[in-house]
Chains A and B, each alone.
Chain A
Amino acid sequence: MVFQISVFLENKPNRLYSFTKVLNEADINLRAAMIAETGEFGIVRAIVDDPDAAYDVLKKNNFTVKKTQVVGVEVDDAPGNLSEIARVLGDDGINIIYIYAFSISGQNKAFLILKTDNITRSRDVLADKLGLRIITQEDIIKL
């Protein structure tokens, strides 16, 4: 299981910087991040090496922050893999809310982060039906 840090940010100059600055000063390493936005605000979702520390330091700095569980899987960096994942989850009636991915340098592998409406079930389906390796926080730290 992987923990993700989500932060509510107003959509205006310097807000992303204020977020990254806090992490930087606490010596927390960002492994991956994505931003979803509407006109006025956005949500930054990030995978970091130490989510507990990140949560604490962001909270201390008055950010609206949540630590949420997501599914992380390791896939070969090859065509068709995401398609397969989407298919098996869909066949199982699981709704994907969002996905983001990052590749691992020199390994021809990618880590896929998934948020679905049923995290535990998604993990089981992906492991059982596609034989994918479920990544853990340890994998993130080792990157």
Chain B
Amino acid sequence: MNEKEQFTLLKKNLTYCYKHAPHYKRSFNEAGVCPDDLKSLEDLSKVPFLLKKDLRSYYPTGILAVNKRSVVRYHASSGTTGRPTVVSYTKADIDIWADMVADCLKIAGVHDGDIIQNSYGYGLFTGGLGLHYGAEKLGASVVPTSGGNTARQVQIMKDFKVDVLCCTPSYALYLSEVVEQSGTDPKELPLRTGIFGAEPWSDSMRKKIEDAFDIKAYDIYGMSELGGPGAGMECTLQNGLHIWDDKYIVEVIDPKTGETLPPGKKGELVFTSLWKEASPVIRFRTGDISYMYEDECSCKSSVQRIGRLLGRTDDMLIIRGVNVFPSQIEHVLSNIKGVSGHYQIYVERKGMLDEMEVFVEVTEEIFNDSMGDILELRHAIEDKMYAVLNIHVKVTVVEPSTIPRSEGKAKRIIDKRLM
């Protein structure tokens, strides 16, 4: 798709948002822009950004540009203070999203008739259902295993002679180990392709997975705010992630100044959706750091292409595909009596699975010579963490004043994972 066509789509979309989503009408007016002011793609930089906190304020319906009755599905991602960010979909949204994911699978060499094991979690998280609908649309046979129960996942992979595996890269590596432990060489499995995403992973990790299973592993990008997985996808050349020109306009900005950066320069990815009816995003700041390619990929899937993710602008952690903000942990702790406000998060990869441990300081308030009280406190924190984050966190109670207090910004996170 050329620039002119993309601009036409953009303008149509901005006009739609201005007319139907009160949020955009207000933010455009405050910034003194109206969709008609835009004369070229470059003018998009005049439009205000959309922040995660804006979206969060629209809990529980999400930013809506349609009547609530037209919404056929809701998804949500974890928010920074325990309040999730909700994304809504119309029937058309679901269809287009499925098309988009099907196209993603296609450029990674997946085709109809392939048996796809989808080990992304099914539920509020967009990963499971997103890949599911896309794979069905492609005409593949989906085995919706969802996450967990690794022994059964391995059995299914063997028995169903699975061609394509979809999951987080760390889970893929873990699966390869479990297959090996079961007495089967993972290389002997019919598995051909892996579609891995929902967490950052390095080229060395890719090599590990590819070698373990003797497959090709492709990076898929997305986040619920953008609609889910499929916003970006590697083709079989594994040279950057394609962003569908007719679905999104992607910009890279300097996270400090907000200025648009040229191709090749690292910065924060900003997405504008061109297809979303229910929850359109205009200049959404993803918090993800990457860069744009200048040249076009020889596969011609799209003009826009981004490099693999390099990090985050904020302190968000991705643990087993789940977004975790330290502020969520802080929020939990602030409501619990007996621990100081100081904490430290330690993340490591044990047997290829992410494990998060939170160290908290006991206070004299809770300590009264009883072992049981401290153990109970620990359980209470672990339960609360699970309720908010949906992942198991190990809580370790330490002595007061032992968690380092640093000047200025405290070093709250120790991430020992090798990405």
With contacts A8-B399, A38-B375, A40-B397 taken as known, whether A64 is within 8 angstroms of B367 at the C-beta atoms is: yes
CB within 8 A of B402: which of A10, A38, A68? A10
CB-defined contacts of A8 to chain B, threshold 8 Å: 362, 367, 374, 399
* CB 8 Å contact bits of B53-82 with A (1 = contact, 0 = none): 000000000000000000000000000000
Report how many residues on chain B are interfacial, defined by Cβ distance under 8 Å. Answer: 17
* Complex CA–CA separation, A41 to B363 (angstroms): 14
Bound: A4/B368 CA distance, A: 11
Q: Is the CB of A68 within 8 A of B400?
A: no
Contact for A40 among B363, B369, B396, B401, CB less than 8 A = B396
- A66 and B368 within 8 A (CB): yes
Please, which residues of chain A bring their CB within 8 A of the CB of B369? 4, 6, 43, 45, 66, 68, 115
- Confirm or deny: B364 has a beta carbon within 8 angstroms of a beta carbon on chain A: yes
A64 x B400 contact (CB < 8 A): yes
Identify the closest chain B residue to A8 (Cβ): B367
Would A10 and B371 be within 8 Å (CB), given that A64-B362, A64-B364, A66-B364 are in contact?
A: no
Question: Cβ of A126 < 8 Å from any Cβ of B?
Answer: no
What are the residues of chain A within 8 A of B374 when measuring CB–CB?
Answer: 8, 41
A72 to chain B, nearest CB (A): 15
Interface string of A9-48 (1 = CB under 8 A from B): 1100001000000000000000000001010110101000
Tell me the bound Cα distance from A10 to B400 in angstroms: 10
Closest to B369 in A: A6
CB neighbours of A45 from chain B (8 A): 369
Q: How far is A10 from B396 in the complex, measured between Cα atoms in Å?
A: 10
Q: Mark A83-116, 1 if CB is under 8 A from B, else 0.
A: 0000000000000010000000000000000010
Report whether over half of chain A's contact residues are helix, strand or loop; otherwise say mixed: strand
For the complex, give the distance between the alpha carbons of A64 and B375 in Å: 16
* Count, chain A residues at interface, CB 8 A: 20
In contact, B397 and A41 (Cβ under 8 angstroms): yes
Q: How far, in Å, is A1 (CB) from chain B's closest CB?
A: 15
Name the CB-closest residue of B to A64.
B367
B357 → A minimal CB distance (Å) = 10
Across the interface, name the chain B residue whose C-beta is closest to A40: B396
Question: Is B398's CB within 8 Å of the partner chain A?
Answer: yes
CA gap between A43 and B375 in the complex, in Å: 12
A36 contact set on B, CB distance < 8 A: 371
Q: Bound complex: CA of A68 vs CA of B371, how far in Å?
A: 14
| A-side contacts of B396, CB under 8 Å | 40
Given contacts A6-B369, A8-B367, contact A62 B401 (CB under 8 A): yes
Q: How far is the CA of A97 from the CA of B132 in the complex (A)?
A: 56
- Tell me which of A4, A45, A62 has the highest count of chain B C-beta atoms within 10 A of its own C-beta: A62
Question: Among the interface residues A8, A10, A15, A63, which one has the most CB atoms of the partner chain B within 10 A?
Answer: A8
Contact with A along B351-374 (1 / 0, CB 8 A): 000000000001110011111001
Q: Are A10 and B368 in contact (CB under 8 A)?
A: no
**Smallest CB-CB separation from A15: which chain B residue?**
B399
Chain A residues lying within 8 Å of B371, measured Cβ to Cβ, are 36, 38, 43
Nearest CB of B to A32, in Å? 15
Q: Is the CB of A62 within 8 A of B364?
A: no
Cα(A4)–Cα(B369), bound, Å = 10
Which of B363, B364, B399, B401 is close to A9, meaning CB atoms less than 8 Å apart? B399
A12 to nearest B CB, angstroms? 10
- Chain B residues lying within 8 Å of A4, measured Cβ to Cβ, are 369
How near does chain A come to B103, taking the closest CB pair, in angstroms? 50
In the assembled complex, the CB of B296 is this many whole angstroms from the nearest CB of chain A, namely: 55
The distance from the CB of B371 to the nearest CB of chain A, in whole angstroms, is 6
Please indicate the chain A residues that have their CB under 8 angstroms from the CB of B401 in the complex: 62
Encoded as 1 (CB less than 8 Å from any A CB) or 0, chain B from 123 to 142 comes to 00000000000000000000
Docked pose: A6 CA to B401 CA in angstroms: 18
Which residues of B have CB within 8 Å of A43? 369, 371
How far is it, in angstroms, between the C-alpha of A38 and the C-alpha of B401 when the chains are bound?
Answer: 21
Question: Are the C-beta atoms of A64 and B368 separated by less than 8 Å?
Answer: no
Q: Which B residues between 390 and 419 are near A, CB-CB below 8 angstroms? A: 396-402
Cβ proximity bits B184-209 to A, threshold 8 Å, 1 near / 0 not? 00000000000000000000000000
Given A8-B362, A38-B375, does the pair A68, B368 have CB atoms closer than 8 Å? yes
A66 close to B375 (CB less than 8 A): no
Whole-angstrom CA separation of A116 from B371 in the bound complex: 14
**Would you list 6 pairs from A and B whose C-beta atoms are within 8 A, ordered by A residue?**
A4-B369, A10-B399, A15-B399, A36-B371, A65-B364, A97-B370
Interfacial residues, chain A to chain B (CB-CB below 8 A): 4, 6, 8-10, 15, 36, 38, 40-41, 43, 45, 62-66, 68, 97, 115
Q: Which 3 A-B residue pairings sit nearest by Cβ, starting from the closest?
A: A6-B369, A68-B369, A64-B367
Binding site for A on B (CB under 8 A): 362-364, 367-371, 374-375, 396-402
